[in-house]
Amino acid sequence: MNVNGKPFRSIWLDRDGWSVAIIDQTRLPHEFLTRRLETPDDAAEAIRTMRVRGAPLIGATAAYGIALAMRQRGDDQALAEACRTLAATRPTAVNLNWALSLMREALAPIAPAQRMEAAYRLAADICDGDVATNRSIGEHGLGLIGELWDRRPDGVDVLHILTHCNAGWLATVDWGTALAPVFLAHDAGIPVHVWVDETRPRNQGAALTAWELSSHGVPHDVIVDNAGGHLMQTGRVQLCITGTDRTARNGDVCNKIGTYLKALAAHDNGVPFYVALPGPTIDWDMQDGIAGIPIEERDPAEVIEVQGQLGEGRTGTVRITPPGVTARNFAFDVTPARLVTGLITERGICPASEAGLLSLYPERAGD
């Protein structure tokens, strides 16, 4: 997508041909800064501290982390160590394990001297594949938005879409998952407006989704996380679309904390609730999302403190609680499949169920 008229992906190979460039998302929306990753530890740090975040981008960064490791040393021990370090960065997004398994399985049978070249090639393929996949999710989602627009009730002259967290191009290599249909609908001339949940505590909605939508000219308003129920109850949301960090085989959807409450409100008010995801976000080994998906618990400081712009262009952190207060910071929750109207994938839209998923990915039936 474009930043000030220049096309960007969220991760790319630097001009030097070996280091990896990322957009430092911890600095947005106040500063647009890129950063070079030179070692697997740099890649792990970028994922852990959320300079890069969002399930597909975490996977892509891990893949390049392996390439950087293979540039240092291509032996089995280096491969195993890099996989271990990168796998330990964040627990919830299954794209991380997916990318690491893909890299390990492709590189292990190759002679150590040839692993570096193969690793860079595979990491680039993962990135290009992600872009194509998300574009396809966008097209299927555009069909859905077009249908809702054609069937709109009298008096609705803008289609209001609510989203949670950031599942736009910054969360992927390009296009995004939940926001890809929104960008395409806007480009196709369908009048869409997005309600952007701020997404406490890290404010991915207020900081990143609002920045992406502004850059693309899509009308939107940031709302506090608790406003969605009220807006749905008063007929001001026609569609919810979110992303997901891991979707279980039974269609349970894990996403940023607060997604479940939006799905409950949508269910209570008859608002369609869709989740957009690429194939690598499906955990085929996870039979029951609520029982099994590991929920990341992050530093309580993220709840106690808020980061923002202080004035005169300076950014800073302020405490919002009494001194000494304790907090807990659960980063994700699981929305049961029964609350999800449908899953928008690169292969089409299906019910949130094992049968629904297998109708699009029949090759996983025997797994």
| 262 lines the binding site for ligand MRU (CB under 6 A) | no
Residue nearest ligand MRU, CB atom distance: 243
Least distance between ligand MRU and beta carbon 76 (Å): 31
Work out which of 167, 240, 248, 253 binds ligand MRU, going by CB under 6 A: 167
# binding residues, ligand MRU (CB under 6 A): 18
Stretch that binds ligand MRU, among 168-176, 187-195, 285-293, 313-321 (CB under 6 A): 168-176
Contact 69, 42 (CB under 8 A): no
| 352 lines the binding site for ligand MRU (CB under 6 A) | no
In the bound state with ligand MRU, the residue whose beta carbon lies nearer, of 85 and 199, is 199
Work out which of 9, 51, 160, 256 binds ligand MRU, going by CB under 6 A: 256
How many residues would you count in the chain? 367
Least distance between ligand MRU and beta carbon 35 (Å): 17
In Å, how far from its chain's centre is CA 27? 18
| 85 lines the binding site for ligand MRU (CB under 6 A) | no
From the CA atom positions of the chain, what is the Rg in Å? 20
Residue 317 CB partners (closer than 8 Å, separation 6+): 305, 306, 307
Rounded Cα distance, 178 and 109, in Å: 37
In the bound state with ligand MRU, the residue whose beta carbon lies nearer, of 65 and 243, is 243
Beta strands in the chain (DSSP E): 2-3, 6-7, 11-13, 20-23, 34-37, 159-163, 192-197, 220-223, 239-242, 246-248, 253-256, 273-276, 282-283, 305-311, 314-319, 332-335, 342-345, 348-350
Contact 236, 275 (CB under 8 A): no
Residue 174 CB partners (closer than 8 Å, separation 6+): 1, 9, 10, 130, 131, 134
Work out which of 165, 185, 192, 206 binds ligand MRU, going by CB under 6 A: 165
Work out which of 26, 61, 172, 335 binds ligand MRU, going by CB under 6 A: 172
In the bound state with ligand MRU, the residue whose beta carbon lies nearer, of 78 and 334, is 334
Least distance between ligand MRU and beta carbon 256 (Å): 3
Which residues does the annotation mark as catalytic? 245
Binding positions for ligand MRU, rule: CB under 6 A: 53-56, 93, 165, 167, 171-172, 176-177, 204, 243-245, 255-256, 331
